[in-house]
């Protein structure tokens, strides 16, 4: 079974405040918060060449300052999602992105405030538990998909590009097989697929207790994440069969841990070795508080 990996990440909002003015009559009196956001984005994009190749940085405008181009925008807000292979690298990237935000505010004579929205750690693998889970996968075999499942998956697969489909095979470390719409094999432990570059809040759990998780087949090969094709397959029989199949694998691994105390000892030793020189530090700063949502319900 391939070692389970994911990226640590955090979401940070950068809110810029400037000074509104008439963009034609008094442009010299304005200090554009939107200019600050755009300069920040340019700075971060230049930084991409000088950061680890497995790190990721994404951004989205939350407030572009309004819809009137004849007014210098006094406020603007951008949300950054920063991902890195591990927590130490994430912290280094965060500091660099913050400096770029400060620089953008300095260049535009605006002010910037930041708010951490969320944060998750990278997922730590656990060799002992991964071997136990692979044994259960091998014993159980592939999911019990039937001809109807494969036919429906092929309909969705027809909406995908050949590149989408080939990429999916390479991601799990298997050669491309034309005309196969649903996974019909158990990926062998020795397969060398691409590491996962998404993120999960299970990552934080894995830093404090031995953790293992499986990837199961629940949709047509090649289906991109966050796509309409993925949503469209979520209620199909194949998705249910795939989830039940993985649930059996997880249950079997749990039974192994209950029956074999030495497996638990090995799993705990593995976690201790991985965190010995780099103990867990929550990626959400201690001063960040959960959002408070007021309810209109009766007292």
Q: In the chain, where are the structural domains located?
A: 8-120, 127-275
| pLDDT tens, residue by residue, 60-115 | 999 999 999 999 999 999 999 999 999 999 999 999 999 999 999 999 999 999 99
Name residues of the chain where pLDDT drops below 50. Answer: 298-299
The CA-CA-CA angle for residues 276, 82, 51, to 5°, reads 80
What pLDDT sits at residue 290?
A: 79
- Retrieve residue 203's tokens: 């990552």
Q: Rounded distance, CA 107 to CA 81, Å?
A: 23
Q: Of how many residues is the chain composed?
A: 299
The pTM (predicted TM-score) of the whole model is: 0.83
Report strand pairing: 111-120 vs 8-17: antiparallel
What pLDDT sits at residue 298?
A: 44
114 DSSP β-pair partners = 14
Would you tell me the crossing angle of helices 237-259 and 261-275 to the nearest 10 degrees? 100
Q: Rounded distance, CA 85 to CA 89, Å?
A: 7
Cβ contacts of residue 231 below 8 Å, gap of 6+? none
What pLDDT sits at residue 291?
A: 74
Report strand pairing: 75-84 vs 8-17: antiparallel
Q: Rounded distance, CA 32 to CA 16, Å?
A: 9
What pLDDT sits at residue 299?
A: 44
Where do the H-state alpha helices sit in 142-235?
A: 147-157, 162-171, 202-206, 228-232
What pLDDT sits at residue 193?
A: 73
What pLDDT sits at residue 72?
A: 97
Domain 8-120 grouped into CATH 2.60.120.10: no
Residue from 271, 253, 278, 281 nearest 210 by CA: 271
Query: How many CA within 13 A on the CB side of residue 279?
Result: 0
For residues 232 and 156, the answer to whether their CB atoms sit within 8 Å is: yes
- Retrieve residue 51's tokens: 């950061």
Cβ contacts of residue 181 below 8 Å, gap of 6+? 150, 151, 153, 154, 156, 157, 220, 221
The CA-CA-CA angle for residues 37, 69, 60, to 5°, reads 30
Alpha carbon dihedral 13, 202, 274, 194, in 10-degree steps, equals -90
What pLDDT sits at residue 239?
A: 97
Q: Is 18 exposed, middle or buried (0-12, 13-18, 19+ CB in 10 A)?
A: buried
For residues 250 and 243, the answer to whether their CB atoms sit within 8 Å is: no
- Retrieve residue 136's tokens: 């259960």
| 91 φ, ψ (degrees, to nearest 5) | -60, -40
The CA-CA-CA angle for residues 86, 88, 91, to 5°, reads 105
């Amino acid at each position: 079974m391939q070692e389970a990996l994911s990226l640590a990440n955090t979401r940070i909002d950068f809110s810029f405040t400037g000074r509104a003015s008439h963009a034609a009559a008094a442009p010299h009196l304005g200090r554009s918060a939107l200019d600050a956001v755009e300069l920040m984005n340019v700075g971060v994009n230049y930084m991409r060449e000088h950061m680890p190749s497995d790190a990721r940085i994404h951004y989205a405008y939350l407030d572009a300052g309004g819809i009137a181009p004849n007014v210098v925008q006094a406020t603007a807000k951008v949300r950054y999602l920063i991902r890195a292979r591990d927590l130490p690298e994430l912290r280094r990237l965060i500091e660099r992105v913050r400096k770029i935000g400060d620089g953008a505010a300095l260049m535009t004579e605006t002010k910037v405030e930041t708010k951490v929205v969320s944060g998750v750690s990278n997922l730590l693998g656990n060799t002992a538990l991964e071997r136990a889970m692979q044994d259960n996968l091998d014993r159980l075999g592939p999911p019990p998909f039937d001809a109807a499942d494969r036919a429906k998956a092929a309909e969705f697969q027809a909406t995908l590009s050949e590149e989408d489909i080939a990429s999916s095979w390479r991601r799990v470390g298997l050669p491309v097989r034309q005309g196969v719409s649903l996974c019909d094999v158990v990926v062998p432990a020795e397969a060398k697929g691409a590491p996962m570059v998404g993120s999960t809040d299970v990552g934080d759990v894995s830093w404090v207790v031995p953790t293992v998780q499986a990837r199961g087949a629940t949709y047509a090969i090649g289906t991109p994440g966050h796509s309409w094709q993925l949503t469209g397959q979520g209620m199909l029989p194949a998705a249910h069969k795939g989830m039940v199949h993985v649930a059996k694998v997880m249950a079997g691994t749990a039974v192994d841990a209950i029956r074999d105390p030495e497996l638990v000892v090995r799993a705990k030793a593995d976690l201790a070795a991985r965190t010995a020189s780099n103990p867990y530090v929550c990626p959400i700063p201690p001063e960040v508080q959960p959002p408070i949502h007021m309810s209109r319900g009766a007292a």
